[in-house]
Structure 1
């Protein structure tokens, strides 16, 4: 029987944490590796604008260190802003498998926590199947736990607590999968990382250029240590000055407002209901019941993962 997976210890730093690989040390690459990036707006590069109105982001910065020119033969970014775990499984993973990557990043889930129908027992097996499909062909996976969006946005406690429960559940699942598939893992929910406002963009949900560069550099360090043939690491210093307050407000009033509105259309009614539950339970002194309900759902998700066979031949 497969041992029941346990969440990894609480994160202590932003450093990448490569798990010890089953079967020995990774054989050093003889050619630049192929890198596929899967996920949502974080991986699509939101928060790191470049000339022409496009986004770059940490995955493109890391991909730029692989060699092989700019023809897309070594790096493909399949991430789409707004993607859910379901989208990564059903749309991005088949394309990524066809690309036959040596490295693949799977960083997704925050959008799921911002949806009315969040269900950790549905999300966990989807994310497991994505990791299994990629690891099953020998791909080295990059993963990350993510900060709580309620805390990032500074929401009032009745609104923030439901989101915090969801994000904790998501991160617990990611920690289990990081161990199960020996991923190179970043603790992006680390307190120091979250508190450093110079790393974040105006919307308070996505890294700015400096944050994206730091993520790319951390993954680069870990992959180089595992023997991948990478070029020089991405520079940590930004190419451009941080946006002024006026520029940040302009972005929030235009593109940022639309981004938030698209998500609130689905989330807001449910979040208001959850906030009502928080207030009611707090008044009754039964807030612990909400935590127990969330813990029970998470326990069911982790138990299902423990019972499922791995897809990487281990």
Structure 2
């Protein structure tokens, strides 16, 4: 089946933050769309910066279903890991509902596992490890659900380009143009291999230079301070408690218990899904 309509759901990554163009953001999904077929494919980007799985379920899903896409990308979850309310059981149930709804319409799902924000931000170990554990949990769920619904899945968390500073925007949280192009190129290769992309692959070469260190510092001194303040109000108190717990386990040599606890939570969340989620359309 060749896609005749492409709809993108998610957060700032899919909205295109980090890849500015006249009038707003572009991003990997917009770069991918022209290569899906020889003729232009209608493309709608419903992704919104800051969106969590709840936002995708409650707001983006109804809008996406109304468009009846042939190809739909659902890339979300990082913002959930950055909230004190993080609950892998809730994340799993929401994603399963979203995937199942599009699969029931016959849409091909496009999904991705993403790097953890602690590594991207280069946080100290005790602060980074709890975020990494959360993102691994989300990635495990996304990987499992992608298999369940026959999604075209990109394990972007494993890509070597993630460690390349030139791939990231000045905020160090979102890919720059070069990073967005890498995502588009990799998604296109997967879709082409499945016979779902027949147009030319997106160019991997950016039109704009990578942000300088000065640009990164300017972002932190201006827009970045507001971002940090908002996240600190919501996440920092809990993250500090998680870091203290991490250090206690380190001192006792029992850090493996934290990983085991997270793994068990993911297993329980997946096992709790309704039967219809297990046998949904692929």
Question: Same fold per TM (> 0.5)?
Answer: yes
Moved more, 206-215 or 287-296: 287-296
Flag structure 2 segments of 5+ consecutive residues without an equivalent.
Answer: none
Out of 182, 199, 202, the position equivalent to 2:167 is: 199
Q: Does 1:152 align with 2:120?
A: yes
| Contact map agreement 2:170 2:212 (CA 8 A) in 1 | no
Instruction: State the 1:311 CA deviation.
Output: 6.4
Residue 46, structure 1, aligned to residue 17, structure 2: yes
Cα deviation code 1:52-100 (max 9, x no counterpart): 4x1110011112335766xxx7111000010000100110010000011
Bigger drift between 191-200 and 135-144 goes to 191-200
1:1-314 superposed matches below 5 A:
27=1, 29=2, 33-52=4-23, 54-66=24-36, 74-190=42-158, 192-228=160-196, 230-305=198-273, 307-310=275-278, 312-313=280-281
Q: Name the stretch that deviates more: 42-51 or 245-254.
A: 245-254
- Greater relative contact order (CA < 8 Å, ≥ 6 in sequence): 1
8 A contact 2:148–2:279 mirrored in 1: no
Contact 2:171–2:224 (Cα < 8 Å) also in 1: yes
Distance in structure 1 (CA, Å) of the matches to 2:106 and 2:120: 36
TM-score (norm 2): 0.92
Distance in 1 (CA, whole Å) between partners of 2:278 and 2:22 is 43
The superposition leaves residues 90-145 of structure 1 with CA deviations (integer Å, 9 ceiling, x where unpaired) of 10010000011010000000000010011111110110110000011110011000
> How many Å separate the matches in 2 of 1:306 and 1:156?
39
**TM-score, scaled relative to structure 1:** 0.83
Indicate if the aligned counterparts of 1:66 and 1:230 stay in contact, CA closer than 8 A.
yes
Displacement of 1:40 after TM fit? 0.5
The structure richer in helix per residue is 2
Report the RMSD for the aligned CA atoms in angstroms. Answer: 2.0
Unpaired stretches in structure 1, ≥5 consecutive residues: 1-26
CA distance in 2, matches of 1:157, 1:229: 41
